[in-house]
Structure 1
Amino acid sequence: MTRRFHDALPTLAIMLGASVWGLVWYPMRMLASMGLTGTLASATTSGAACLFVLLLKRRSVRTIRWHWLLVALGAAAGTTSVGFVWGAIHGQVMRVLLLFYLTPAWTAVFAHFILEDRLTRADAALSLLSLAGAVTMLWSPALGFPLPANLAEWAGLMGGMGFAMSNVLVVKLTRTMPGMKPEMRTAVIFGGAAIVATLVSFFEPMPAPPAASQMGMVAFIVIGLGVVLAANNVIMQIGLARVPANRASIIMLFELVVTALSSWLFAGEAPGPREWAGGACIVAACVLSAWVHRQARASGEASSAANQQAASEKKSTRAMV
């Protein structure tokens, strides 16, 4: 029983991380209602998370070396954070998140050009499936061409593109700088999110600032959320290091379940038939993408094992001769 629980811990860690991201929109809306804009909320919480990681893992700072990929990763992470937070605050949470989860389409394209991965027919088909889900969700006879209906949905779409780019750049960075500690990549992600959100905040209209009586609560939420996000990222990294990537991507879809329930309970947002149909296509694309990559990796491992066995038999034959 203890062994089974120990084996299940990585999966539980990923589910916990997905649950946190499925709930984080609510405290962000609380901060917005107190007078802290979405961009400033993203900047302050990301800054707190970055500081927490650097203090906790300060000995790993020496593993950082200058590389343009660090700037690119920070910019992509900033786009992800601002898009997700701003969209979740100002739009319908579930629609924004579903647009955010169009990652199979963007990841296939970015990986083809940045990682030089071959764009297979399966990748192209899954990208089209996820885009078909978005079209199903966004299409309306009154609106005509299926595009995001408002800035919040555009923000969710851009955030999803940033998320896909971040994932690809993390792989590229791992190959280019293998000596860099994973927690330092986390610090770069949060630091980039803080910088980008701060820059974008100058272009966002400022509401009335938080009242003096609310400053204590605002500071508490910002610091608490920063620590939670940083700790959550560390927990996620532990789970992701012990679970195959294809399986992890499926487990992370638990975020959609948590978001759907939390947006219904806390905001009274109930997805309609088109949202359910479009969401089903997007989720199916994510699940099938994980399955296809698992099959490809298993086929590659089997081919490699067969080649090694053939080489071994060839050597044995030579030795006999």
Structure 2
Amino acid sequence: MNDRIRNGWPTLAIMLGASVWGFVWYPLRLLAALGVTGTAASALTSAAACGFVLIVRRRAIATIRWHWVLPALAFAAGVTNLGFVWGTIHGEVMRVLLLFYLTPAWTALFAHFILHERLTWTGAALAALSLMGAMLMLWSPQLGLPLPGNLAEWAGLAAGMSFAMSNVLILKASRVLPGMKPEMRTATIFGGAAIFSSVASLFEAMPAPPAGAHLGVAALLVLGLGFALASNNMLVQYGLARVPANRASIIMLFEIVVTALSAWLLAGEVPGAREWAGGGCIVLASVLSSWLHRGKPAAGSDAEPGLGDDSKRQDGQRAMV
């Protein structure tokens, strides 16, 4: 019994991490109501998370040699972060999240061009299934072409593409910079998100900043989110290091369940039949991708090395806000 409980901790860690990401949109909306825009919230919370990692894990942060993959990873993480934050603040949470979860389609394409991994017919079919789910979710007779209907949905789509690029770049970094510790990778991701969002905030009309008691509440929310997200990142890394990659990626889909429940209870958002059908296709593509890669080696194989294993382990590196 004790062994069973001990073996269940990594799974619980991943589920808790997915739950945090499925609920994090709500404090972001609270910040927006206090006058902190999406770009500012993204910059401030990411900076707080980066600072927390650098302070708590400073002994594990080692100096590594320069490589182009580091600024590329920071930039991709910044787009991921800002797209998710801005989209969930201004759009329907579930639709934004489902567009974000088109990651398997983009990962297959990016891995082909950046990692030179062979794009198999199976990978192409799963990518097509994901895209079909998105088209089903977005299509309506009035709008015609199934494209995102507003800027928030475009932001969610861009965030998902950038998240896929982050996954591929993390795998690239593990190959060209094998001495890079997870803590350094986490700091790079949160730091990149903070810098990118800070620059983006310069182009956004800023409302009146919080004042008085609202300023204190906003500051506590920012610091609390930074602490929670940095801790959550390290918690999920603990789970991902001890759970098979295919199983971990399926557990991560628990985020969609938490998001659906939280959006219904806290925002009154109820997905329609098309959203459920399209989302089902997207989730099915993710599950099938995990199942098909369940027995493949992590490296040294001709059949998509790393894509079915290492890149899926990187889901825990997500720098959401």
TM-score relative to the length of structure 2: 0.92
Find the counterpart in structure 2 of residue 229 from structure 1: 229
Find the counterpart in structure 2 of residue 84 from structure 1: 84
4+ aligned runs moved over 3 Å, structure 1: 295-298
Find the counterpart in structure 1 of residue 12 from structure 2: 12
Q: How does 1:39-118 map to 2 (within 5 A)?
A: 39-118=39-118
Question: How far apart, CA to CA, are the structure 2 residues paired with 1:21 and 1:81?
Answer: 12
- Structure 1 residue ranges without an equivalent (≥5): 304-321
Give yes or no for contact 1:63–1:179 (8 Å, CA) kept in 2. Answer: no
Find the counterpart in structure 2 of residue 306 from structure 1: none
Q: What SS does the aligned partner of 1:170 have?
A: helix
Question: How far apart, CA to CA, are the structure 1 residues paired with 2:64 and 2:52?
Answer: 17
* Residue 164 (str. 1) matches residue 169 (str. 2): no
Find the counterpart in structure 2 of residue 201 from structure 1: 201
Cα deviation digits, residues 119-155 of structure 1 (max 9, x gap): 0111000000000000000000000100000000000
Q: CA RMSD in A?
A: 1.4
Question: How far apart, CA to CA, are the structure 2 residues paired with 1:269 and 1:65?
Answer: 47
Question: How far apart, CA to CA, are the structure 2 residues paired with 1:125 and 1:95?
Answer: 23
Give yes or no for contact 1:126–1:289 (8 Å, CA) kept in 2. Answer: yes
Give the letter aligned to residue 64 of structure 1.
I
Question: How far apart, CA to CA, are the structure 2 residues paired with 1:246 and 1:114?
Answer: 22
Give the letter aligned to residue 71 of structure 2.
V
Find the counterpart in structure 1 of residue 286 from structure 2: 286
Give yes or no for contact 1:106–1:161 (8 Å, CA) kept in 2. Answer: yes
Give yes or no for contact 2:62–2:181 (8 Å, CA) kept in 1. Answer: no
Question: How far apart, CA to CA, are the structure 2 residues paired with 1:230 and 1:139?
Answer: 37
* Residue 32 (str. 1) matches residue 32 (str. 2): yes
Give yes or no for contact 1:64–1:184 (8 Å, CA) kept in 2. Answer: no
Find the counterpart in structure 1 of residue 262 from structure 2: 262
Question: How far apart, CA to CA, are the structure 1 residues paired with 2:223 and 2:235?
Answer: 18
Q: How does 1:241-280 map to 2 (within 5 A)?
A: 241-280=241-280
Q: How does 1:136-151 map to 2 (within 5 A)?
A: 136-151=136-151
Q: What SS does the aligned partner of 1:180 have?
A: coil
Larger Rg: 1
Report the CA distance between 1:231 and its aligned residue.
Answer: 0.3
Find the counterpart in structure 2 of residue 313 from structure 1: none
Find the counterpart in structure 1 of residue 178 from structure 2: 178
Deviates more, 1:208-217 or 1:232-241: 208-217
- The structure with more helix, counted as a fraction of residues: 1
Question: How far apart, CA to CA, are the structure 2 residues paired with 1:231 and 1:65?
Answer: 27
Q: What SS does the aligned partner of 2:205 have?
A: coil
Percentage identity across paired residues of the two chains: 69
Deviates more, 1:49-58 or 1:289-298: 289-298
Q: What SS does the aligned partner of 2:293 have?
A: helix
Report the CA distance between 1:173 and its aligned residue.
Answer: 0.3
Question: How far apart, CA to CA, are the structure 2 residues paired with 1:152 and 1:3?
Answer: 45
Report the CA distance between 1:207 and its aligned residue.
Answer: 1.5
Give the letter aligned to residue 248 of structure 1.
A
Give the letter aligned to residue 174 of structure 1.
S
Find the counterpart in structure 1 of residue 127 from structure 2: 127
TM-score relative to the length of structure 1: 0.92
Report the CA distance between 1:297 and its aligned residue.
Answer: 4.1
Question: How far apart, CA to CA, are the structure 1 residues paired with 2:297 and 2:166?
Answer: 22
Give yes or no for contact 2:61–2:183 (8 Å, CA) kept in 1. Answer: no
Give yes or no for contact 1:63–1:181 (8 Å, CA) kept in 2. Answer: no
* Residue 188 (str. 1) matches residue 192 (str. 2): no
Question: How far apart, CA to CA, are the structure 1 residues paired with 2:295 and 2:242?
Answer: 19
Find the counterpart in structure 1 of residue 2 from structure 2: 2
Question: How far apart, CA to CA, are the structure 2 residues paired with 1:60 and 1:7?
Answer: 26
Report the CA distance between 1:296 and its aligned residue.
Answer: 4.1
Q: What SS does the aligned partner of 2:62 have?
A: helix
Report the CA distance between 1:62 and its aligned residue.
Answer: 2.3
